[in-house]
Amino acid sequence: MPNILVLGGTTEASALCRALAEANIPATLSYMGRVERPKPQPIPVRIGGFGGVPGLIQYLRDQQITHLVDATHPFAAQMSTNAVAATQETGVPLIALTRPKWEPGPGDRWHQVPDMAAAVAALSGPPQNIMLAIGRMHLAQFAAQPQHNYLLRLVDAPTEVPPLPHHTVIIDRGPFSAEADRALMQTHQIALVVSKNAGGTGSLSKLQAARVLGLPVLMIERPLLPPRQETHTLADVLAFVTA
């Protein structure tokens, strides 16, 4: 009998949990628990870090997990790296459910940078109105470019005031639309959008809006991860865990 552990925190993980519940495949969803009011899930949920690779190894053994599905966000590099290490040690089969990267299309004005530090460096120059659509984790790094007016769209209200002298916070967890994002960018006279290359549809609207408005996008590329089996489809994951 399979006993799946899903590393989640993404729309794709939630969709996978629904599919596992519908197929009556025993599974547990793991969240880090950073977001308030996480969505209700149709399978049991555990919350919080495991305690690094040793903690994850212990959990896989204690709970007799038969398959690990890494459906974390493509920027959750630490968790994904730990998943590879823990499954190598325990022999538990691992598959990653990921979103294809966004690729620039006609009309897009992307400047691609390898990481957050490079994005910060790329913002040197005179003040601009910038939509910083990167979540709350890395906002402090942008304090190195304090001259800009930053528009921050966050899922939850920040617990600490972001260390950016000029900023506006909008609390919204979506779903977002290209039309509403275009209006938002126009209202705030945005000149540049900073985005992580998350992929998927959940936050694509800002890129569609930027394209329509002819705005440049500073696109932060995904972190590099150790090699692992990876798919973009739920069907592949279901086949993997029931093989």
Interactions with ligand NAP, residue window 35-54 (CB under 6 A):
49-52
Separation CA 130–CA 17 (nearest Å):
36
8 Å CB contact between 220 and 195? yes
In the complex, the smallest distance separating the C-beta of residue 214 from ligand NAP, rounded to whole angstroms, is 27
Q: Residues 167 to 186: which contact ligand NAP by CB under 6 A?
A: none
Number of residues that bind ligand NAP (CB under 6 A): 24
Taking alpha carbons only, the member of 150, 175, 154, 173 closest to residue 163 is 150
Smallest gap from residue 3 Cβ to ligand NAP (A)? 16
Instruction: Give the span between the Cα atoms of 122 and 125, in whole angstroms.
Output: 8
Which residue, chain included where needed, has tokens 């793991």? Answer: 30
| Residue from 5, 8, 149, 199 binding ligand NAP (CB under 6 A) | 8
| Phi, psi (rounded to 5 degrees) for 184 | -60, -45
Q: Which is nearer to ligand NAP, 56 or 131 (CB)?
A: 56
Among 19, 21, 43, 77, binds ligand NAP (CB under 6 A): 77
Using rule CB under 6 A, residue 98 touches ligand NAP: no
Q: Is residue 7 part of the contact set for ligand NAP (CB under 6 A)?
A: yes
The 194-213 contact track toward ligand NAP, x by CB under 6 A, reads --x-----------------
**What are the Cα distances from residue 38, in Å, to 28, 67, 123, 143, 200?**
15, 24, 33, 29, 19
| CA–CA distance, 219 with 131 (Å, rounded to integer) | 12
Cα 59 to the center of its chain, rounded Å: 24
Q: Which is nearer to ligand NAP, 151 or 154 (CB)?
A: 154
Select the residue interacting with ligand NAP from 73, 99, 136, 167 (CB under 6 A). Answer: 73
Count Cβ atoms below 10 Å from residue 99 Cβ, excluding itself.
Answer: 18
| One of 11, 31, 60, 194 touching ligand NAP (CB under 6 A) | 31
- Find the shortest distance in angstroms from Cβ 72 to ligand NAP: 3
Rounded to whole angstroms, the Cα distance separating 87 from 107 reads 43
Establish how many alpha carbons lie within 13 A of residue 201's alpha carbon, considering only the half-sphere containing its beta carbon: 3
Applying CB under 6 A, the residues found at the interface with ligand NAP are 7-10, 30-32, 34, 49-52, 55-56, 72-73, 75-79, 82, 135, 196
